[in-house]
Amino acid sequence: MNKSDLQNATGANEVITQLHPDIKLNQGNYKRQKSRSGMNVNNGLWKQQMGAVMSNWDKLSEEEILGTEGLEQKLTSLIQERYAMTRGFANHQVKIFLAKIGC
């Protein structure tokens, strides 16, 4: 992208889109796009971490943990439901856990 491309842009939305292709324009609100499922842990690594997950969240069964497929948002939803906590707190717990296991 060069200066002339920006000068030829027809509006602010086009300039923003050209400068930051990862930004989604939504009714005047500018938001960066995120993956729908958040972080995806490699399936082999996820199976290796099963013991750590189960010791961290003992109310979850092995089948439920495998069912999340290492997807951050699926695990967050499961923990939120099982432990009756807010989504934000559950997501925070998942992020801390994933950081500890190196994901």
Amino acid at site 66? L
Distances (CA, A) of 66 to 28, 33, 75, 78, 90: 40, 27, 10, 11, 18
- Kindly state which CATH superfamily the domain 43-100 is placed in: YjbJ (1.10.1470.10)
Tell whether the model's pLDDT for residue 11 goes beyond 90: no
Residue 70 contacts residue 46 (beta carbons within 8 Å): yes
Distance separating alpha carbons of residues 86 and 92, to the nearest angstrom? 10
pLDDT in tens, 64-98: 998 988 889 999 999 999 999 999 999 999 999 98
Residue 5 contacts residue 18 (beta carbons within 8 Å): yes
Return the domain boundaries, the chain: 3-32, 43-100
